[in-house]
């Protein structure tokens, strides 16, 4: 996990991007504090502070990679090549991995949405949780301004996990940011 040295203010809007090669979801991270007035057995009043953390999906910020069948429709490209045994042009199959191109399209879509949301100040800080390959692709495609607001990178796939596992990592990350 990479943690940026920037301090996170309590009033900041923090988005969490959880992604893999086929799915990306953006959540808003909330830290809630509830103060409950209490009394002990001798009726001395005190306040009990209960902290809770939650992730709320951001509307219209769920992305799916296109299916292999949808991708192949309209992608019947052939390359051309000069040379070979006979003079003239020959057609050949392009050298590309369709699965990688589908993942790149997903990463590009996510990067574009994050850039637009940053421009309208929809969030202040960003946490990215993704497998290492997707994390690297995101770093390449994210706008420099968006990269500047990334406070943590978690190189793990949380798309299939419950939010509790991700929240445990986030609590540790933000505790380090507040003390660091």
Q: CA neighbours within 13 Å on the CB side: how many for 16? A: 23
Residue 169, pLDDT score: 78
Q: What is the pLDDT of residues 72-108, one digit of tens each?
A: 544 444 444 444 555 555 555 555 667 778 888 899 9
* pLDDT, averaged in runs of 10, over the chain (180 residues): 51 88 89 72 71 84 76 48 52 62 88 95 93 93 94 88 80 63
Residue 44, pLDDT score: 72
What domains can be seen in the chain, in order of their start residue? 2-38+47-68+97-179 (3.30.420.60)
Percent of the chain with pLDDT over 70: 70
């Amino acid at each position: 996990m990479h943690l940026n040295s920037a301090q996170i203010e309590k009033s900041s809007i923090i988005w969490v991007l959880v992604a893999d090669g086929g799915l990306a979801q953006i959540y808003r991270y909330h830290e809630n504090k509830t103060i409950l007035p209490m009394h002990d057995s001798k009726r001395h009043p005190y306040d009990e502070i209960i902290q809770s953390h939650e992730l709320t999906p951001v509307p219209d910020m769920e992305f799916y990679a296109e299916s292999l069948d949808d991708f192949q429709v309209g992608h019947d490209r052939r390359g051309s090549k000069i040379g070979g045994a006979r003079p003239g042009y020959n057609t050949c199959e392009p050298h590309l991995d369709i699965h990688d191109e589908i993942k790149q399209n997903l990463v590009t879509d996510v990067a574009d949405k994050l850039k637009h949301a940053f421009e309208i100040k929809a969030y202040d800080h960003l946490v990215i949780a993704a497998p290492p390959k997707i994390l690297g692709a995101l770093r390449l495609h994210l706008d420099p301004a968006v990269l500047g607001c990334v406070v943590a990178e978690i190189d793990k796939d949380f798309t299939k996990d419950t939010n509790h596992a991700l929240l445990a990592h986030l609590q540790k990350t933000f505790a380090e940011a507040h003390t660091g």
